[in-house]
Structure 1
Amino acid sequence: MNTGIDYGQFDDGRAVNYWEFDDTLERELRRIYTGAEFEWAAPRLAEFGHAVGHTIADNADYIDNHGPELEPYDKHGERQNRVRYPAEQLENERLAYELGIVADAFEAPPGRDEPMPLSHNLAMQYLLSYADPGFDCPVAMTAGAALVLEKFDDGLLSEYYEGLTSRNYDDLIEGAMFLTEKQGGSDVGANETRAEYDADEGCWRLDGEKWFCSNIDAEGTLALARTDDAPEGTAGLSMFLVPHADPDLESGPYTKGDRLEDGPLSPEGVNDQLYRRLKDKLGTISVPTGEVEFTGAKAHLVGEQERGFKQMAEMLNLERLSNAAASCGIIGRVGLESKIYAANREAFGETIDQYPLMRADLVDMAVDHEAAVAYVFEAARLFSAREQAQRAGDTADEASRLMRLLIPIAKLRTARMAVETASYGMEIHGGNGYVDDFVTNRLLRDAQVLPIWEGTENILSLDVLRALEREDAHEPLFDAIEGRLENVSHPALTATAETVEAESHDLASALATLAGADTEYAQLSAKRLAHYIFDVFTAALLLEQAQTGLEDGNSRLALVAQRFVTNELEAQSARGITSGDRLALEAFDSIVRYAPVDLETLER
């Protein structure tokens, strides 16, 4: 009998190919890619999964203890803004970028006539986050900056776009997003950084302070600033590209190759900005995050003046999906480490994965992983569809409206799931999980920033309300839920589908209530609403995929869908104790180890 993956054969979750161990990701990509896209991508994702599981994972642990260091001044006291990186980090960068983590989604890769969808970039970020979610931050911002230039630049910054999307590491530049200011935070409209046009130099100059700047020394940094006579609030913000190097003294962007060959810039070659210090962070050590003071820094206007916030919102969509993909990667890695540890750790004469309580915990961890990945990559599919349509000159209105609703929820829910999963993964490892020698310690520290980056849970919940109010996003939402439930016809799924359908009606009632409520009550309910949408939409997704699995002779996803609905949508009397539910014991191999399930087993 096929009991699935034998996790007891491994010591820990490294020196393995993460792509080969993640049937969940493979299934989702088969669903959202075309056949030709998946055929091209699969061997490359396998190559990338091997690189992440071996070289990048080992380097990531070293970098966590020997991260980037800032040298703001040279020995003569001249400003140099040098960030010194360990060699292991440069090796990780070369591997990831040259395997196409950004380039493949913007320029046609070898063997294809057109770029891959942006969901491919997110799939690679997901795998990268099995090893180093901190490094995924600059990768995500590099893709985000490239997307902004693709959409809004009139061609004047083509050299920067080519650097951001380069497949050759030596020609690469990385992106960044300097958004946060001390007095503003989430209130972007309160930003005070000023931009003034220098007619003598023929460039814009920025003055002001940015407070939380990740990838601080990026050459492709996007920043918001207010020009003279611009209105207050977000409407008056313009977007600028602020290079690390003085663009008049360096010939084109200052690339990775320039840094490696020529070393740090001379003081006169540094743009007029000061990197005051790096933040002493809890986690994500591999990305240098610090404070930047613009002191007349030369900058390039991106697109039209006073359109900066709308342009930044396009980058934020991708950044929030990147955050969610990183959360899924952390959940996947913690799950892998937990399965391996539980299959090897003996207590009272048995490995601990034989005990009912541990089996239930591992089952629910696996179900959470399935739910998070299904939701995030459906949002990624819609985002990619919109981008591909816009490249072709179409609007993709329905995909855009639904995407606008799903993306903030994707980031909101999965970030919290990543923190909770990583915390419990430490508990499974006991005292070992709490110390630096074991990766669960770092995964929790890295996960803890995910609810903060790109908008807190409260901010995202308010964004959900705006999507419903301004985009009428409830219409494509309920169309999508109904369409998926209509595809569910197998008798084994009937009861679960009925529960989800009933909850979708209750969700509609909740939305109608909030539509007629005062602003304060709507905001008071916004967070509960966001989680409710996630639960109902994800349940419909899982049920549709369970139907497909049953048609193919595998009932595993039916078990997953039933467990998710039981956990998140069903009200259980006596906390479920009187139900007699033994799913975690009887379906352990199927859900946790990916063992196939026949219909007879499902019905039993």
Structure 2
Amino acid sequence: MVDTPIDYSQYEEGRHVNYWTLDPALRAEVERTYPDAAFEWAESELSDLGAVTGHTIADNAEIIDREGHELRTYDKHGEIQNHVQYHPLQHENDQLVYDRGVTHDIFHAPPGRDDPLGFQHVLTQQTILSFADGGFVCPVSMTTGAAIVLEKYVDEDHPNADLLDEYFQGLTSRDYDDHIEGAMFLTEKQGGSDVGANETTAEPTDEEGIYELYGEKWFCSNIDAEGTLALARRPDAPEGTAGLSLFLVPHTKRDGSLNDQLYRRLKDKLGTIAVPTGEVEFRGAEAYLVGEPENGFKLMAEMMNFERLTNATGSVGGMGRCLLESKVQAATRDAFGETIQEYPLMRRDLVNMQTDYEAALAFTFEATRHYADYMANEQRLDEAPADRDDDAARAFKLMRLLVPIAKYKTARMAVDTASYACEVLGGNGYVNGFATERMLRDSQVLPIWEGTSNVLSLDVLRVLNREAAHEELFPLVEDSLDAADHPHLDHLAGTVADEFQSMQEAMISLATEDQDYAQHEAKQLADYIFDVVTAALLIERAQDAIDKHNDARKALVAEWFVETRFAEQDARGITDGEKLPDDHFAEIVRHGSLSPDQLADAAPADD
């Protein structure tokens, strides 16, 4: 709890700060996702990462974005070398992160602990890092994702068990000198989101489990990763996703020579310059089968669940940075005799941004909590949900439903937040060298990475139909609303309960409609689920803050979220005389505390 509102006028911009200690909303949401003992250990680690990210990594990110990396496909003799000449500051950032165990501590016990941490830890770390550079976080995320697949689907009976274990150990090393990075080469020019249309082939060799790959991959982030996962089709395998197998493609072969592939060019991207993204042509590249043949799409989907969630936490981190830049600007920019944070319209805008940020935090870290539970309980993907214990089945259903919604919604919210942050900074916000310009460029890829909004919305329909995920979603919402005890929150919970009922009716309606109509409304349904679930979660968190800290600040956030999403207003609310953002700017935006007694004096706005 922050007794005194934060004075953002003491900062010149949104760096040279500790992103962890300066963000009470992030800290509170993260604490909810960790087991108590794990958070007690992790808090100092997260604070350390927040400090180094806010200083060194954030400074380096500005320079790397401006100067970039260079691909040198050929050497001076015209021979293929596939060499990415990284900016030297990228190596400094990499070492700062990997030596801190970002890809290690969820697989192996870190120093000072007997056991590894849950997946909420790496997702929190990636959120913090995204305050500095979402492009830099991309390889970190894919390295973790590749390690997830290798740990789960390579057992001692696998023909390449020892070989693949070496890659797993490299991907998860805490020593930068021994660490390697991973990647996921999924997209092909003719396929795009239609992965089943992929044409890359895998030809067997004389060695069991060793193949040669032929074909091209069109959008390859972290192009020179030492441990890349790629999908390809073996001879006589069926068409579509059912015929795809998963392979690990190394940068260099076992004999130390360069693998038989060509890095054709780097994409001239709008943003995320820190991660080199290019086109790769496999020319008989040595590749090692991962898991069972023709089961590659299911294995890649396991990695995709994690990548989509990291896209959401990356979106949240980017929103947090843009919000911080906006707060500092509003507290230090004078216009017409006052700082612009003193003007009611700017106050309302900043309250909207803060509320969106805390909404994205609540929903994303709720998804993170269930993903971490799923990973802790799930042993292998080939066990049907009905065969798992109740905790694992519940976590699986909630993870599968909440993750695509979190990815879809937070990505769009990140773009909107970055765009408005540019406006708050005025002309400077549109100029290279000011963080908001880069954050806007970087955020624009978030709705594209790991599935577009349409693909994700259709996945929501699929999960509801195939997994019956609503069976676990409904109790989640009901329990959150039942937590409301304070009269102010109880009133808000009643409004959300009415919307919850309407949302259920919408689900039933789509379940009985023809497929075309259901697809037409899929995005609307995903939006509705996000709004209802988020409102319930914010109410629950507000009651929790009152009970534990005697602080009603979060109740104001919950009220404004419900007001702006669900309230029935005459004349669009212009005539109701309500001005919560102006009255409670210090509490909401600057994290000041509010007595629950003061909250009781103010009835919700639609009374």
CA distance in 2, matches of 1:224, 1:432: 44
SS of equivalent residue, structure 1 residue 205: strand
Match of 1:476 among 472, 490, 493: 472
> TM-score if structure 2 supplies the norm length?
0.95
CA distances 1:417-445 after superposition (whole Å, capped 9, x unpaired) = 00000000000000000000211000000
* 1:294 aligned partner: 282
* 1:33 CA displacement: 0.9
CA distance in 2, matches of 1:402, 1:13: 35
CA distance in 1, matches of 2:47, 2:284: 46
CA distances 1:324-371 after superposition (whole Å, capped 9, x unpaired) = 000000100000010001000000000000000000000110011101
Which residue identity is paired with 2:560? R
* 1:491 aligned partner: 487
Match of 2:360 among 372, 396, 412: 372
SS of equivalent residue, structure 2 residue 174: coil
CA distance in 2, matches of 1:598, 1:535: 27
* 1:328 aligned partner: 316
Match of 1:308 among 290, 296, 302: 296
* 1:258 aligned partner: none
Match of 2:325 among 337, 343, 346: 337
CA distance in 1, matches of 2:187, 2:567: 41
* 2:31 aligned partner: 30
* 1:387 CA displacement: 0.7
Match of 2:592 among 572, 595, 598: 595
CA distance in 2, matches of 1:402, 1:216: 33
* 1:568 CA displacement: 1.5
Which residue identity is paired with 1:582? K
Which residue identity is paired with 2:243? G
Matching of residues 340-355 of structure 1 within 5 Å: 340-355=328-343
CA distance in 2, matches of 1:335, 1:104: 30
CA distance in 2, matches of 1:24, 1:227: 49
* 1:550 CA displacement: 1.6
Judged with a 3 Å threshold, the aligned counterparts in structure 2 of structure 1 residues 454 and 13 are, in CA distance, closer, same or farther, namely same
SS of equivalent residue, structure 1 residue 104: coil
Q: Contact 1:37 / 1:116 at 8 angstroms: preserved in 2?
A: yes
SS of equivalent residue, structure 2 residue 427: helix
SS of equivalent residue, structure 1 residue 489: coil
SS of equivalent residue, structure 1 residue 15: coil
SS of equivalent residue, structure 2 residue 268: coil
Q: Contact 2:209 / 2:289 at 8 angstroms: preserved in 1?
A: no
Which residue identity is paired with 1:388? A
CA distance in 2, matches of 1:503, 1:277: 50
CA distances 1:384-424 after superposition (whole Å, capped 9, x unpaired) = 00111125995500110111010000000000000000000
The answer as to 2:218 corresponding to 1:217 is no
CA distances 1:470-521 after superposition (whole Å, capped 9, x unpaired) = 0001111111101111111211112210011000100000000001000000
Once the two structures are aligned, what percentage of the paired residues are identical?
59
* 1:227 CA displacement: 0.4
CA distance in 2, matches of 1:295, 1:409: 38
* 2:177 aligned partner: 170
SS of equivalent residue, structure 1 residue 368: helix
* 1:31 CA displacement: 1.1
* 2:55 aligned partner: 54
Q: Contact 1:130 / 1:329 at 8 angstroms: preserved in 2?
A: yes
Q: Contact 1:83 / 1:217 at 8 angstroms: preserved in 2?
A: yes
* 1:580 CA displacement: 1.3
Which residue identity is paired with 1:81? N
Which residue identity is paired with 2:132? A
* 2:558 aligned partner: 561
* 1:582 aligned partner: 579
Which residue identity is paired with 1:438? F
How many residue pairs match? The answer is: 585
CA distance in 2, matches of 1:86, 1:363: 38
* 1:2 CA displacement: 4.7
- My pick for the range that moved more, 172-181 or 562-571, is 562-571
SS of equivalent residue, structure 1 residue 335: helix
* 1:569 CA displacement: 2.1
* 1:98 aligned partner: 99
Matching of residues 505-544 of structure 1 within 5 Å: 505-544=501-540
Match of 1:239 among 236, 246, 251: 246
CA distance in 2, matches of 1:473, 1:457: 20
Q: Contact 2:138 / 2:275 at 8 angstroms: preserved in 1?
A: yes
Q: Contact 1:3 / 1:590 at 8 angstroms: preserved in 2?
A: no
* 1:201 CA displacement: 9.2
The answer as to 2:501 corresponding to 1:501 is no
5+ long unaligned stretches in structure 2: 603-607
CA distances 1:204-261 after superposition (whole Å, capped 9, x unpaired) = 00000100000000011000000011110000000000001112x12xxxxxxxxxxx
* 1:66 aligned partner: 67
Q: Contact 1:3 / 1:589 at 8 angstroms: preserved in 2?
A: no
Judged with a 3 Å threshold, the aligned counterparts in structure 2 of structure 1 residues 70 and 201 are, in CA distance, closer, same or farther, namely farther
Q: Contact 1:19 / 1:127 at 8 angstroms: preserved in 2?
A: yes
CA distance in 2, matches of 1:202, 1:389: 29
Judged with a 3 Å threshold, the aligned counterparts in structure 2 of structure 1 residues 599 and 88 are, in CA distance, closer, same or farther, namely same
CA distance in 1, matches of 2:134, 2:435: 12
CA distance in 1, matches of 2:209, 2:472: 47
* 1:3 CA displacement: 4.2
The answer as to 2:225 corresponding to 1:182 is no
> TM-score if structure 1 supplies the norm length?
0.95
SS of equivalent residue, structure 2 residue 180: coil
Aligned CA RMSD, in angstroms, stands at 1.3
CA distance in 2, matches of 1:576, 1:134: 40
CA distances 1:79-117 after superposition (whole Å, capped 9, x unpaired) = 000000011000000001111111111111111111111
Which residue identity is paired with 1:500? V
* 1:118 aligned partner: 119
Q: Contact 2:263 / 2:280 at 8 angstroms: preserved in 1?
A: yes
